[in-house]
Structure 1
Amino acid sequence: MKILMLTCQYMPDVFGGAEKQCGRISKGLRNKGLEIQILTSRQQHKGKAKEVLNGVPVRRLYSPIAPDLLGRWLPFSAYWLLRVLVWGVFNHKQFDVIHCHQGKFGAFVGCCFARLFKKKISIKVGNSNQFMDFNALKAKKFVGPIMADFVLKTNPTVVAITDVIAQNCKDFGFNNIINIPNSIDTNLIDMQQYTEQPIQKANDVINLFYHGRLENIKKVDVLMESFALLVAEHTNIHFHLIGSGSVLASAKDYIKQQGLGSKVTFHGEVNDPVVFIQQFDVFVNASEAEGFSNSLLEALLAGKVLVSTPVSGASDAIYPGKNGYISDSFKAEDIKNSTIKGIQLHKQNTESVKHFSAQLIADNFTVEVIAEQYLALYKKLTGTNK
C-alpha cells in the first residue's frame, strides 16, 4: 500500500506537533512495509527539493511564503496548490491514500487532489474547540468558509486524536470520524544520549518544568503567574522553561519584575528535549487549547509527574493520583493547587508513577500501536487486506 503524507510545512523548517507526528507515523508505517512519501513545501529556493529523513522520502515544492498562512499571502497559497496539483498529474498513480496532517489549508489542498485524481483521503485534526482546525480554516476571511465547505462536501475520513476533537468534528458536520491518538517514539528515551551539560540542582529542591513552543496559546504568562503563587507557599522549588517563541521575552520580564530570577531558569531550545527533561521532576502545562500535546506525551515517556489544564488530551494521559493531576480550570490559582498535589505525588513514589506511565504508553501510544491503527484505517479506505 502506498500513502502520500501531505503537510504544508515539515521538519527541519518547522518542529511543531503536527510535523513531529507526521514524521513518527511515517516512520512507523514504513517499518510495517508501507510505501510512504511526504509532500511538503520549502521556502528556500535553493533548499533541498528531495531528501530522505528517517528512511522516508520527502518531496518539497517551492513556495516563497509558507502556503498555509492565507490572508494577504493568499497568492502564495494558490501558487503552492497549483504546484501540488501539477505534481499530482505526473505522480498520482503512485499513491492509494492521501493523508493530510492538520485540517487547515493543507486539507483543502488534499481534498482538491483527492477529487481531481479520485483518491481516498484522511485528514488528521490537530487542535480542539474554538481552535479546532476546521474552525480555524473557516475563520479565514473570504476564502475560509468556501474552503471549509469544500472539505466538508468531499466527505473525507477525519482522524480525531481525542474524544473532544471527535465531538468538535461531528458538530462541524463530518460523518466519517475515527479516533486515533498521537504517538510517541520510545526510542527518544532508549537511543539518545545527553548532548547538553547536566543541570546543577540542589538535592532538596523540586524542579518543575515546561518544554515546548512558547506562544500565546500556551499561556506561559499564566504558567509564570501560577509559579509565583506557588513560590509564596513553597520555597524549595525551581522552574525550568525549555523552548523558544514570541512570549519568551515577556515571561523573562515578568519573572524579573517578581524578583524570581533565582527561581527560574530559561534554557531556550535544547537538543534531545525528551532526554533533557529527565533531569527534572514535575511537568506543568498551562495551555488554553491543545489537540493532544506532544510535550505532555514526551513528559509521560520520561516518567514525570504531570500537571495540566483541562485541555483536550489531558485526561487521556493523566490519571489523577496515579501519574499527575488536571487542574479544575485554566486559572493560575487552580494550576498552583494541582501543582502542589503533583509535588506531593512526586515525593510519595516516583517509581510507581514511572511504571504506570510506561504501561500506559505501551498499551496506547507507541508508534507501533498507532501505526497498526492507521494501517487498519487505510485497508478500510481502499478495501484491501494487503
Structure 2
Amino acid sequence: MKILMLTCQYMPDVFGGAEKQCGRISKGIKAEGVDVHVLTSRQKFIGKANEVMNDVPVTRLYSPIAPDLLGRWLPFSVYWLIRVLIWGMFNSKSFDVIHCHQGKFGAFVGCCLARFFKKPILIKVGNSNQYMDFKALKSKKIVGPIMACFVLKTNPTIVAISGVIAQNCKEFGFKNIINIPNSIDKSLINTDSPILNDKNDSVINLFYHGRLEQIKKVDVLMEAFALLTKKHKQVHFHLIGSGSVLPAAKKYIEENNLQNKITFYGEVDDPVNFINQFDIFVNASEAEGFSNSLLEALLAGKVLVSTPVSGASDAIFTDENGYISTGFSAAEIVKSTEGGIALHNKNSGEVQSYSEQLVASKFTVGIIAKQYIKLYTKLLGAS
C-alpha cells in the first residue's frame, strides 16, 4: 500500500495547521510500515526538488507563486496542476491512494489526479462553517464553482476532523464522510524541560500561541484581557506568534496602558515546550477546523479556554480541563476564562492528568495513523 500525500504547500515554507498535520500523519503512517510520499510545491527555482523529512520522501514541484491562491494568480494554479498531472504520468505506479490535505484548490488537483489515473482519493477538510474548505473554493470567482462541482461529482471520501465539519460537508452534498480528528505527537513535549522564564507563582499566566491573523480574533482576545485585568490584578498575558494583526494588538495594549501586563514573543522554535511554563490557554478564534494550538496546549496539560469553534468540544470538558464560552464576545470569553482561573487554582494537577489520559486515548499520532490505514485499506478494497 502506497500513499500519496498531496498538499499545495508544505513545511518549512509554511507551518500552518494543515502542513503540521500532513507531517505528523505521514510520519505516523510511515512508522506503521506504510509507504508514504508527500507531493507539494516550492516557490524557489533553485531549491530542493526532492528530500526526506522525518523519514518521508518529499517531492516539490516548482511554482513561482503558491498554487492555491487562484484569483489573478490562476495561471500559476493551472501551471502547478499541469506539473502534478505530468508527474503523475511518470509516477502513477508509485501511489495507490491520494490523500489531500485541505479541500480547496489542492482537492481539485487531487480529484483530477484521481480521475486520470483511476485512484481512490480522500480529502481532509481543515476548516468549518462559513470558512469550510469547499465553501472557500466555491467562492472563488468563475473557476471556483466549477472546481467545487468537479470535486463533488468525483465523490471522494471526506475526512472531517470534527462533528461540525462533518455536518458542513453533508450539507454541501458529500456522501462519504468519516470522522478522524487531528493528531498530536507526544514526543513533542519534554517533561524534563526547564522553566524558560522566572515567574511569580501568585501570577496567573494566560497565553495564546499560533498564527495572529484576522480569523483568530486577536482583537477580541486583547479586549477580553483588558476586561480581565480590571477584575483580576494577578493575571499576565503571553502572546506567542506573528501575523498581520500583531501591530494592531500592540497598539491596543499601548492605548490601554497594559504594557506591563502582557508579553509579546513573536515566533518561537519549540512552541509546545515554550508554553509549558504558562497556565491557561485562551483562544478567541471565530472559526477553526481542529486547532493545532489547542491540541498542543492539551498535550502540555494546561487549562483550556476557547470560543465554541469546531473541535473545541472534542478537547475541552467542562470542570475537567477547561471551559468553552457560550459565544464569541470578549465578555463571554472573560466569563469562561474566570472559570479557567478557578479550575487552575483548584486542581491544576488533576487537569494535567485528565488531559494526558485524553491525549493517550484519542489524539496520539499512532492512534490516528491506524485509523487512516484502516480507511486506506477500505478504499483499496472498494476500488
- Normalising by the residue count of structure 2, what TM-score does the alignment of the two structures yield? 0.99
State the match for 2:325 in structure 1. 327
State the match for 2:39 in structure 1. 39
State the match for 2:58 in structure 1. 58
What is the deviation of 1:190? 3.7
CA contact (8 A) 1:210 1:241 kept: yes
Q: Secondary structure at the match of 2:231?
A: coil
Render the CA deviation track for 1:310-368: whole Å, top value 9, x for unaligned: 00000000000000000010000000010001000000011100010000011100000
**Aligned equivalents of 2:266, 2:47: Cα separation in 1:** 26
Q: Where does 1:85-104 land on structure 2 (aligned, <5 Å)?
A: 85-104=85-104
State the match for 2:365 in structure 1. 367
State the match for 1:313 in structure 2. 311
**Aligned equivalents of 1:368, 1:208: Cα separation in 2:** 30
Aligned length: 382
Q: 1:250 to 1:288 in 2, by over 3 A?
A: same
What is the deviation of 1:37? 0.3
**Aligned equivalents of 1:29, 1:76: Cα separation in 2:** 31
Q: 1:91 to 1:191 in 2, by over 3 A?
A: farther
**Aligned equivalents of 1:34, 1:97: Cα separation in 2:** 12
CA contact (8 A) 1:5 1:39 kept: yes
Q: Where does 1:194-213 land on structure 2 (aligned, <5 Å)?
A: 198-213=196-211
Render the CA deviation track for 1:125-172: whole Å, top value 9, x for unaligned: 000000000000000000000000000000000000000000000000
What is the deviation of 1:193? 5.1
Q: Where does 1:229-378 land on structure 2 (aligned, <5 Å)?
A: 229-378=227-376
CA contact (8 A) 2:190 2:273 kept: no
What is the deviation of 1:198? 1.4
CA contact (8 A) 1:288 1:309 kept: yes
State the match for 2:126 in structure 1. 126
Q: Which runs of 4+ in 1 moved over 4 A?
A: 191-194
**Aligned equivalents of 1:83, 1:324: Cα separation in 2:** 47
Q: Provide the identity percentage.
A: 72
Structure 2's unaligned 5+ residue stretches are none
State the match for 1:2 in structure 2. 2
What is the deviation of 1:271? 1.1
Letter in 2 for 1:276: F
Q: Secondary structure at the match of 1:85?
A: helix
What is the deviation of 1:203? 2.0
Structure 1's unaligned 5+ residue stretches are none
Query: Alignment RMSD, CA only?
Result: 1.0
**Aligned equivalents of 1:262, 1:174: Cα separation in 2:** 51
What is the deviation of 1:200? 2.6
Render the CA deviation track for 1:250-279: whole Å, top value 9, x for unaligned: 000000000000000000001110000000
Q: Secondary structure at the match of 1:232?
A: helix
CA contact (8 A) 1:192 1:272 kept: no
